Every structure is written in C-alpha cells, then in structure tokens.
Amino acid sequence: MNQQRQHNANRDQDFGDVDRAGVLVALSRILPTAALLSTAEDLKPYECDGLSAYRELPLAVVLPEDEAQVVAVLKACHARGVPVVARGAGTGLSGGALPHKHGVVLSLAKLKKILHLDPVARVAVVQPGVRNLAISEAAAPCGLYYAPDPSSQIACSIGGNIAENSGGVHCLKYGLTVHNVLRVRAVTIEGEVIEFGNHALDAPGLDMLALLIGSEGMLAVVTEVTVKLTPKPLLAQVIMASFDDVEKAGDAVAAIIAAGIIPAGLEMMDKAATAAVEPYVKAGYDLNAEAILLCESDGTPEEVSEEIAAMRSVLEHSGATDIRVSLSEAERLRYWSGRKAAFPAMGRISPDYYCMDGTIPRKRVAEMLKAIAAMEKKYGLRCANVFHAGDGNLHPLILYDANVPDELARTEAFGAEILALSVALGGAITGEHGVGVEKIGAMCVQFDSAALSVFHAIKHSFDAQGLLNPGKAVPTLHRCAEFGRMHVHGGGLKFPELERF
C-alpha cells in the first residue's frame, strides 16, 4: 500500500534529469562529510514526516550548521535545477516535509541556538531548529513564555511552526504563530537573504510576514525568527465539564463564546478519545461522559475566579452532567496532559491512525460531530474526536490498519468527506497542520481556478523554477480537473513551468 502512495505523491513532478553524482559532488564541497547523507540507510529516517502513510527516499539529506551553508546549498541546487524540501523536526501531519525522490532534504535541525532573549522588550531571537517548548523554558526565569503550544511542542521546531502557522490548545486567547512572530529572516531558492517584518509593532508596506508564515516552505527557507514573549499569568485554573451527549457539548462551546467569554483554552474530547487517553496518561477524565470540555481561565486570581464562575453557569445551563475545577497547578497540568497526549494514545489502541485537521464555525460543531458518527458507519472505521473547540479547529483521528487491504483507501475517503463537509459548513480544510500532500485534492474544493492561479503567481514570484517543496499545498488546475472538481479553460496555468507540480 505504501508503494502506491509513494508513487502518487510525486506523480506530477518531473525532475528526473537531475545529475545525482554531480549534485553530491557539489554539496560535498559545501558541507563536511557528516553533514551530507546519501546512502539508503541514512536517508530512511527522512522518508516521511508525522504523516507516515506517504513515504519517499530523497536524493540526499543535508544538515547545514549556519546560514552561510544554507545559502550555499540553495544556490547549488538552484543552479542544477534540484528540488529542495526544508525540514524541521518532522512532526508535521500533512506530508509537508515529504521528500522528493530527485531532490534534497534540507534539515534545519542543527540551527538550534537561542541567539538573544530580551525580557524588557519581551522578545526572543532564535534559529529555526529550536524546539517550541525550549523557548518557554529559556524565558521562564524572566516570568515569560512563548504562547503557541501545539501538542508536539516538546519536539516540534519553531521553523516548522512558521511553515504551518501552528496553533495549540491556548491559541483561542493568545493566537496562532502568525500572531506571535515579529520578524523572520529567510533565504530564497536563489540564495538571497531577505527579512520579513521587524521588531516594531508594524512594518511598512505589504504584510509579507503573514504571507511567509503558513507557506509550507514553498517560498523561502527560514534561518532566524524573532518571537513575542508573553508574561506568565498569576493563576490558571481549568474546568473539566462532562456531557451525556456530544451535541450538548458542541452547543456549550458556542454558548461560552456567545456569552462574551474568551477562555485561555477551550478543548473538547469525545468518549472514544478519553477512553484511549485515560489508561495512557491517567489524567482523571470522566470515562462515563460522551464528551468532555476543558475550559481554562488565566489572569489575576480575581479575574480567574470571576471567569470560572461565569463559565460554570453557562456549562450548567448547557446541560453539563458534572463540573470539576482544578484545585492545584498539578491537577491543571494533569488535565491538559491528557489532551496533549491524545495523538500518541491512539497508537495504543490502533495499528495506524489518520489525523485530520479542518476548521468549522463554532456553532456547527454539534452538526459536524453527528455527521462524523454517520461516516464511521459508512466507512466501517472508528473515529476519535479531539477539537480545539473554541476556534472550531477539529482533529478527528480515524483509526485503521494499513495491513488490511483497502483500509487506507477508505480512511482517505473518510478524511476527504470530513474536509468537504468542513467547507460546506463555512469552514476550511486546515486549521494548523497545513495542506502538504495530504489535502492537496481538498484545495480544489476550497478554492476556484482564479484563486489557485493567484497562489501560483505568488509562488512564481519567489521561485520561478518551482524548486522549493514542489508538489505541495497548491494543486495545478489540471490536477483539480483530474480530481473531477474543476473544469480548466484556456490551457491551464499562466506559468507552464509550474505545471509539473
């Protein structure tokens, strides 16, 4: 099964005339021997990211140690027409770091220094290989932390967060990566070093920083990032609310926001998710509930007390069967540990799982959950649901076994239907995991040919040869026609050199 997925992932990309031996010689002149990997054994760990259903061995992997080496590698690849896929920690879940079989994987893992931390300005300047959590650990003695906290924060890199515009369980109040980054230094495929944004509150001209964040490594390779740091709140408490019906829990989410409350975190897990997590983490979840909500408040003790009381009132009126409030910091962290361990917990109950990522309006959460339950029966597969409920970002975890014929195909169809319904309900096909190769077909559902042409024009302005992360994120019009979701007029794209995507 993986062999078929391996072929399909790169089917449109024609870089087969690359001189492998010449590329390796050129790269060996730039990097020390240990920083250039080319044997099958050394390349194997890089064949996929967190989306393991799609795999491909690259031509080579390079591990530069500084920006100068990144520049030299990109110039060498550009001169030879070699595709380049930038890679962070490999925790991505959409195949965004899937290698190209005729290309080079450029790992930023060795660029892992925290260059400067200014507690007065509340900023940190870091290299792209720095782990998300390491920033908060470094800032902790100053009473500060980095707010975006994806579930993989112990391992994921800030460069990868930039590529996917990552969020986390506290993004409802504190925002996504794009809201917490001031400046990015990056290198184009031609080896030109450019800067996006600055340390001021706003940058003159067009907001190119927002364009780069979330561009999935298709425009430039990040080499330095300036992030905002947030003061630690004096107090934080979390409510665990139980519901005997998932629709009631979904309606409660909308009711909290409608009441004018913006919690620090507002997460939802259904019974299948809590049943998988509790034996793994022992978070103290109510296993009799059909769904639970985790609602956090932070701030001064007075603010927290008032907000907890307001949320309790809304939850009671929404039909909560049980409400517990964390009584200590240890208990609060234990509640959150279960939510953050939801993905790995699935590995204990299923050989494989497929983590979807879509976004819907909050008021449609209950409707989506009901539809997913019907899809479970339609496709004959189990699905555990974990939501960033406060901002409508859903993470259905479809459980399957890749060794069973047709199960991966049914899983992909299940996921595609979830994404199509997300769009139909007024949402989007991704909230924080990106498009990568996983959702490239769903892009044809989300956007029309005019919008896709604009995306390709932006890509062309940065990377005219289409060498940076080819085949990802933005489909060609012809590919959409193959998916049966778009009729192409007038010969397709304005930029024929991008047709190989």
DSSP symbols for 31-47: S-GGGEE-SHHHHGGGS
> Which domains, ranges and CATH numbers included, belong to the chain?
2-107 (3.30.43.10), 114-231 (3.30.465.10), 233-439 (3.40.462.10), 445-471+479-498 (no CATH)
Residue with tokens 């559902």: 445
pLDDT at position 16, please?
A: 72
- Per-residue model confidence (pLDDT) at position 415: 96
Q: For the chain (length 501 residues), average pLDDT per consecutive 10?
A: 44 71 98 98 97 94 98 98 98 96 98 98 98 98 97 96 95 96 98 93 86 98 98 98 94 94 96 96 96 98 98 98 97 95 91 94 89 97 94 94 94 96 96 94 94 96 97 90 58 47 41
pLDDT at residue 360, as a whole number: 96
Please tell me the predicted confidence (pLDDT) of residue 492. Answer: 45
Comparing CA positions, the residue from 399, 430, 433, 391 lying closest to residue 268 is 391
Look at residue 61 and give its three-state secondary structure.
Answer: strand
Q: Which residues contact 337 (CB under 8 A, 6 or more apart)?
A: 281, 283
Distance CA 314, CA 171 (A): 21
pTM recorded for the entire structure? 0.91
Q: Name the H helices within 107-245.
A: 132-139, 158-164, 171-174, 208-212
What was the pLDDT predicted at 485? 61
Q: How confident is the model at residue 481, as a pLDDT?
A: 83
**74/187 Cα distance (integer angstroms):** 8
Residue appearing with tokens 């230094």: 185
